Amino acid sequence: MNKIKNKILVLTVAAAALMQAGCKNKELDAFNNLEKDRFVVRTEKARTQNIEDYLILVGSVKAMDEAVLYPRVSGKLLKNLLTEGDAVSKDQPVALIERDEPGVVYEPAPVPSTLTGVIGRVYQDSGSNVTPQTPIALVVSQGRVRVVVDVPERYVGRVFNGQAAYIKVDAFPDTLFRGKVYRVSPVVDTKTRSSAIEILTDNSSGRLKSGMFSEVRLVTGAREGAVAVPASAVLNDSGGSFVFVPVKGTAARRNVKIGISNGDYVQISGGLRAGEELITFGLYGLKDGSKIKTQEGPAPDVNPAD
């Protein structure tokens, strides 16, 4: 009786093993039937938009005009008539100096402003001893400001008066202030191998302050109504620039001529028309004639054909 039970147990185990092997074989066959050379890609259409090409530089904001005021005589600072942030007109006194000459009485000597603007800084307190070399106050005119930028020598040929620029400061990270180049140095500094330029921008809002660090985007080219594609979709090799377009389930290489680029988008000046579809994701390892599968929705994290 025990022998019969053992035989039944052996047959059951063997059957289970055969069934499991059969399942594995089916899974292996299904896996082997998969097209391993098919790339999962995403596509979008070439669009028409305005593109600006620019250099990204750094600079410092300066008041359009600024002046440090000094007393005309020696003595003691009797009184500051204005404080930081106060508006001041040209020739308006900003402080009074009491002359320090024993036995002689003088009227307090004014320290007049040499320009119209606002008081940017007061340097001395009342009672301080001062001389004609002692700074009393800084006056700045900030209705318009200038941004001073050093342009590397290799880019100097792309800079000219009237050139458009955008200014960005950390205090207002979501705002771009538009300006124009109004002064270009005629020389290149031999130590830094750069040339100084100044960009003028409106500051009627008063948000730009003298001394601020700024990022400058200097527009070196612009195209209106350009055929544009994502910069990441344009590839290059010894044959030039090219993109991949979907054709009946395969990727077809298309040579293109490129124009200006702003880092995010590239102008296509030949080889692709607005509205034509091109592959923008899944380009790694893709070749002319590769089989593709277009995926809708968010881009996958990895390309199954890698």
Answer whether residue 34 shows pLDDT above 50: no
**278 touches 266 (CB < 8 A):** no
Tell me the fold of 38-52+225-294.
2.40.420
The residue assigned the tokens 């007061």 is 122
- For residue 108, the 8-state DSSP code is P
For residues 179 and 221, what is the distance between their CA atoms, to the nearest angstrom? Answer: 15
- % of the chain beyond a pLDDT of 70: 84
More confident residue, 203 or 18: 203
pLDDT at 52: 85
Which region among 77-81, 152-156, 225-229, 298-302 has the lowest average model confidence (pLDDT)?
Answer: 298-302
Answer whether residue 32 shows pLDDT above 70: no
Q: Which residue blocks in the chain are alpha helix, DSSP H?
A: 2-33
pLDDT at 134: 96
- In the chain, residues under CATH classification 2.40.50.100 are 71-135
50-59 pLDDT per residue, tens: 888 889 999 9
Residue 24 has phi, psi (to 5 degrees) of -65, -40
Q: What is the mean pLDDT of residues 272-292?
A: 92
pLDDT at 304: 40
- 123 falls in which pLDDT band (50, 70, 90)? very high
**If we measure between CA atoms, which residue out of 84, 136, 86, 78 comes closest to residue 109?**
78
pLDDT at 19: 59
Answer whether residue 90 shows pLDDT above 80: yes
Q: What is the mean pLDDT of residues 138-147?
A: 92
| Amino acid identity at 281 | F
Kindly report the pTM of this predicted structure: 0.61
Answer whether residue 149 shows pLDDT above 80: yes
- In the chain, residues under CATH classification 2.40.30.170 are 54-61+143-223
**If we measure between CA atoms, which residue out of 206, 260, 198 comes closest to residue 234?**
260
Which residues are paired to 65 by β-bridges? 141
pLDDT at 165: 95
Answer whether residue 26 shows pLDDT above 90: no
**Strand 38-45 versus strand 277-281 pairing type:** antiparallel
**If we measure between CA atoms, which residue out of 277, 276, 280, 278 comes closest to residue 298?**
280
| Amino acid identity at 163 | Q
Q: What is the DSSP string of 141-174?
A: EEEEEEEEEEEEGGGGGG--TT-EEEEEETTSTT
- 121 falls in which pLDDT band (50, 70, 90)? very high
- 303 falls in which pLDDT band (50, 70, 90)? very low
Tell me the fold of 71-135.
OB fold (Dihydrolipoamide Acetyltransferase, E2P) (2.40.50)
pLDDT at 188: 94
pLDDT at 106: 83
CATH number of 54-61+143-223: 2.40.30.170
- In the chain, residues under CATH classification 2.40.420.20 are 38-52+225-294
Q: State the Cα torsion 85-87-91-97 to the nearest 10°.
A: -40
For residues 294 and 303, what is the distance between their CA atoms, to the nearest angstrom? Answer: 12
pLDDT at 235: 94
Please count the residues of the chain: 306
206-260 pLDDT per residue, tens: 899 989 999 999 998 888 889 999 999 999 998 899 999 999 999 999 999 999 8
More confident residue, 101 or 261: 261
pLDDT at 29: 54
User: 121 burial class (0-12, 13-18, 19+ CB within 10 angstroms)?
Assistant: middle
